[in-house]
Structures are given as C-alpha cells and as structure tokens.
C-alpha cells in the first residue's frame, strides 16, 4: 500500500494482508480532501528531518561528484518507508508537544 498525496488515495498491493487490515479499510473510506489535508499538514521542519534521516540510512554522496543508485528488494524498501512514516508520526507528535508547551509556558519551547 502507498499513499499518493497528489490524488489523495491509497494504492493497494495485491497482497491478502491489505484486505484484512482495518486501518486500510478505514483510510479507503475517508474523503480524498481529508487525506490531502492531513498529507499537506506536515511542516517543512519535519520533512527536512525525515529527508536527512533517510539519506543517512542509504548514504549520501555529493550529486555533483557521484551518480548514486540504490538497489534493494521490495521488503527492505517497505521497511525503509515504514521507518520514515513512523519517524514522521513521532516528529509530528513532538512538534505538537513543543507547540503546547510554548503556549502553556509562554515564549519558545527551547
């Protein structure tokens, strides 16, 4: 399963596990505008952290000096994407906590 934020829908694989997953069924029943709004609500800071995290996992070489290609199998790529998604979820919750602390205690959350 993959999410396409441009079309705001989930793309399902042919696997039987998707059919018994209650969360996937729930997501499929959500209006596209709800999914699009949630997908677009991620802050630039979270996108940057996830990007740096994924780049750190697969390795980063300067593009002007190297032509890097990553080869993996389906299961490892799925694990990498799941890790990035969980990192995003965690970071969003921490960002909300930081905003709450700043509003409760005043000023910045630093």
Q: Answer yes or no: are the C-beta atoms of 53 and 91 closer than 8 Å.
A: no
The angle formed by the CA atoms of residues 98, 95 and 49, to the nearest 5 degrees, is 130
Task: Give the pLDDT score at 100.
Answer: 93
Phi, psi of 34 (to 5 degrees): -70, -45
Task: Give the pLDDT score at 54.
Answer: 84
Task: Give the pLDDT score at 10.
Answer: 54
Delimit the domains of the chain by residue range.
Answer: 1-41, 43-110
Q: Which residues of the chain have pLDDT under 70?
A: 1-19, 107-110
């Amino acid at each position: 399963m993959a999410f396409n934020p441009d079309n705001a829908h989930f793309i399902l694989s042919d696997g039987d596990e998707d059919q018994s997953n209650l969360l996937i069924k729930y997501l499929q029943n959500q209006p596209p505008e709800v999914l699009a709004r949630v997908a677009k609500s991620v802050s630039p800071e979270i996108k940057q952290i996830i990007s740096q995290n994924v780049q750190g996992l697969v390795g980063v070489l300067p593009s002007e000096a190297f032509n890097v290609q990553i080869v993996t199998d389906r299961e490892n790529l799925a694990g990498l994407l799941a890790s990035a998604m969980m990192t995003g979820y965690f970071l969003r919750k921490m960002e909300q906590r930081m905003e709450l602390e700043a509003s409760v205690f005043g000023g910045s959350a630093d």
